[in-house]
Amino acid sequence: MLKFTAIAFILIVGYSCSEADYKLTYFDIRGRGEFIRFIFAAANHKFEDNRINPADWSNLKASTPFQQLPTLEIHEDSETVILAQSKAIARFLADRFGFNGENEIERALIDMYGCQLGDLFDSTVGKNLTNQQFDTILNQNFKFFEDRLNKNGSGFLVGGKISWADIFLSQMTEFLDKYKNMYLDKYPQVKALDEYVRDLPGVKEWIQNRPTTPF
């Protein structure tokens, strides 16, 4: 089990708390929250990165919609709305930042790929899998995304521009850790997309400056 030693802290990305429109609350790990941070970074949009100590979580649960993290607080027009569920948060931000396709079909496809990536996360990250099981699941999924990228022909999963599913796929490769190049070398389209996302100015800056965490 992952052991947390960090104290609770709040990182304000780019500006003071009083100016924040968005407050993302999650633990001091990448986990289910990092691809949302990547979306903010890709959009070069400011947000409050509120990282909490697990010891304080029991006191905060009741204030969240489903007693789980991450959550996104949206402060707008003197109102505050709290969203839960990482993919619901991603879709909302993607709509606002232009990462959710050009029409209903594209949005449905982006959502499909995002859901598949969520399933990939759930089936691998933190699971007690054998090396063979892990390898099989990853290769099945990367082959699927490689084929889709080849078929689409634009360098992106859907349409002709980056979507939140592309960002999610790139961020998911971090969980391969030291084996990342070994896997991605077999899937050049996925590797090229990952490099594209990480070369975006906001994402590059985020990766350089984000807190170092074990997971």
141 and 67 part of one domain:
no
Q: What is the model's pLDDT at position 214?
A: 84
Q: What is the model's pLDDT at position 6?
A: 35
For 13-35, what is the mean pLDDT? 78
Query: What is the per-residue pLDDT across 146-168, written as a single tens digit (0 to 9) for each?
Result: 999 999 999 999 999 999 999 99
90 and 140 part of one domain:
no
The residue to which tokens 């924040």 are assigned: 20
- Average pLDDT of the chain to the nearest whole number: 91
80 and 124 part of one domain:
no
Q: What's the first-to-final CA gap in the chain, in angstroms?
A: 11
For 175-204, what is the mean pLDDT? 96
92 and 117 part of one domain:
no
CATH number for the domain spanning 27: value is 3.40.30.10
CATH number for the domain spanning 168: value is 1.20.1050.10
Query: What is the per-residue pLDDT across 96-150, written as a single tens digit (0 to 9) for each?
Result: 999 999 999 999 999 999 999 999 999 998 899 999 999 999 999 999 999 999 9
Give domain status of residue 65, yes or no.
Answer: yes
Question: What single-letter DSSP state applies at residue 64?
Answer: S
Pairing of strands 47-52, 22-27: parallel
Q: Which of 22-31, 64-73, 171-180, 195-204 has the lowest mean pLDDT?
A: 171-180
Q: What is the model's pLDDT at position 49?
A: 98
Domain holding 176, by residue range, is 100-199
Question: What single-letter DSSP state applies at residue 77?
Answer: T
Q: Which residue would you say has higher pLDDT here, 186 or 7?
A: 186
Work out the burial of residue 127: count CB atoms within 10 Å of its CB; fewer than 13 is exposed, 13-18 middle, 19 or more buried: exposed
Nearest to 47 by CA among 13, 72, 78, 81: 13
120 and 64 part of one domain:
no
Q: What is the model's pLDDT at position 5?
A: 33
106 and 192 part of one domain:
yes
pLDDT band at 16 (very low <50, low <70, confident <90, very high): very low
161 and 90 part of one domain:
no
- Packed helices 104-124 and 86-97: angle between N→C axes, nearest 10 degrees: 150
19 and 68 part of one domain:
yes
Give domain status of residue 214, yes or no.
Answer: no
- Whether cis (ω within 30° of 0) applies to the bond prior to 70 is yes
Q: What is the model's pLDDT at position 145?
A: 99
Q: Is the pLDDT of residue 95 over 70?
A: yes
For 62-79, what is the mean pLDDT? 95
pLDDT band at 35 (very low <50, low <70, confident <90, very high): very high
Please list, in sequence order, all residues whose beta carbon lies within 8 angstroms of the beta carbon of residue 37, skipping any fewer than 6 positions away: 24, 47, 49, 206, 210
| Number of structural domains in the chain | 2
106 and 194 part of one domain:
yes
**65 near 82, Cβ under 8 Å?**
yes
Q: What is the model's pLDDT at position 208?
A: 98
Q: For residue 81, which phi and psi values (nearest 5 degrees)?
A: -120, 135
Nearest to 98 by CA among 47, 176, 163: 163
Q: What is the pTM of this model?
A: 0.90
